[in-house]
Amino acid sequence: MKTFEDYMKSFLEGEVLLKEGLVSEHIYIREYACRHCDKFPPLEDVPEDLSEQWFFAIRKVFDAFEDLREFVGRPIFISSGYRCKEYQKILTARGYKTAEVSPHNFGVALDIIVGDERDNQVAVSFLELYHSDLRIGFQLYNHKFIHIDTAYLLPIKKLQELKILPTLVRGVSLQKYWTEGKRW
Ligand SMILES: [Zn+2]
């Protein structure tokens, strides 16, 4: 079973990036790893054909971030990356409006702050234009931060068969929530 680090190492400059404390050209491990336990998504918990697809979804969200980073031309603050299940429970207990199962729990989501509301709006417009397949949350967060994810690229059905993902979320099938191009 391959871990997140194994996939990183086999990915282009992955080994160098990890050594430098990065998971992508402009994303530090400390920004991406779980804030509560410093762990990476547990790709080793699933068969290799699934972990491969899972890592691909992670890379896609990093790639979108890097494109935006290049467009913006200065650092972008990442307020949340991967969150383990335990941390998700802690956040919910603290009263945060977090979903019971979030794309963050699979490391395929990033919450980012480019600047003020206007800066964030410009960033969303860029993403709408060049990465329209992403799921983007912005309005619901009063334009204070941007949530981006590639949850639709996860092997949802197979993860459900393994009971790693629920079938229903708030009584509705998860497939209806985690769709390509969703906006909220
Ligand atoms: Zn954690």
- Identify whether 184 is part of a domain: no
Mean pLDDT of 1-28: 95
- Identify whether 144 is part of a domain: yes
Distance 98 CA to ligand 1 centre (A): 15
| Count of other CB atoms within 10 angstroms of residue 165 | 21
Distance 151 CA to ligand 1 centre (A): 19
- Identify whether 182 is part of a domain: no
- Above 90 in pLDDT, residue 172? no
Distance 39 CA to ligand 1 centre (A): 6
- Identify whether 183 is part of a domain: no
For ligand 1, an ion, list residues with CB under 5 A: 34, 36-37, 84, 87
- Identify whether 75 is part of a domain: yes
DSSP string for residues in 110-158: EEEE-SSHHHHHHHHHHHHHH-TTSEEE-GGGTTS-EEEE-GGGS-HHH
Distance 35 CA to ligand 1 centre (A): 6
Domain that holds residue 95: 4-177
Q: What is the mean pLDDT of the chain?
A: 95
42 closest CA partner among 31, 55, 29: 55
3 closest CA partner among 36, 49, 45: 45
- Identify whether 81 is part of a domain: yes
* pLDDT score of 12: 84
Distance 115 CA to ligand 1 centre (A): 27
79-114: pLDDT as tens digits: 999 999 999 889 888 887 767 789 999 999 999 999
Distance 105 CA to ligand 1 centre (A): 9
* pLDDT score of 170: 80
116-155: pLDDT as tens digits: 999 999 999 999 999 999 999 999 999 999 999 999 999 9
Number of domains present in the structure of the chain: 1
Distance 41 CA to ligand 1 centre (A): 10
38-53: pLDDT as tens digits: 999 999 999 999 999 9
- Identify whether 50 is part of a domain: yes
